[in-house]
Chains A and B, each alone.
Chain A
């Protein structure tokens, strides 16, 4: 158990819909990262927040947005969903801001868009 929790574990929805994925980092960790893993792909970095502020951005679509709240939990919002958005979405956390620091991953949310 990494100490990072993600809800829900599974999500099935239809094209055009909007969903929110939630992540609670390990106690004491200030950084939260979001990754997308599509079929047979590596983890694609989406976005990082550090202590409530956006710190780094990867290949995140404009239809996707995220935020980190004062209690340090984070939410990833996916809107106007398309079939290609079906993937595993991982959240990770680390104590420090730098991405090279050890990141602790949650178990992921599997999103299926029908």
Chain B
């Protein structure tokens, strides 16, 4: 049973436009959510996080939105840049474990 789902395996966006990556979860006990970015042949790197008591967190071009009633979070990247092309994983925290989604491959084209 997948508790964290990223239903879009891939997303293609033009440079300068907004990229929106989505993540759904099933467990209402998750108290913290994180996004990690992964380039090929590298390990994931932390991008941004949000506590379950908030509905928005912003860091530069990256904003994460949390809708607890819908059990949904999204990562917005504005404006998208070619260097943002990577696989993005959302992760949820519960009982001191991180549960990761399967990832969304973002491609930003010129």
Contacts and interface: CB of A to CB of B under 8 A. Distances in A.
A99 B98 contact: yes
A90 B43 contact: yes
B93 A99 contact: yes
Interface in A1-33: 2, 4
A75 to B, nearest CB: 18
A43 B32 CA distance: 17
A43 B93 CA distance: 13
Give chain A's interface secondary structure class: loop
A30 B95 CA distance: 19
Contact of B103 (A42, A55, A98, A107): A42
Contacts of A58: 97
B45 interface: yes
Contacts of B100: 35, 42-45
Interface residues of B, number: 25
Interface in B37-61: 41-46, 49
Contact of B43 (A41, A48, A107): A107
Contacts of B89: 42-43
Contact of A45 (B31, B32, B97, B103): B97
Contact of B96 (A2, A98, A107): A98
A56 B97 contact: yes
Contacts of B4: 42
A58 B96 CA distance: 10
Interface string A89-101: 0101000011110
B99 interface: yes
A105 B44 contact: yes
A71 to B, nearest CB: 21
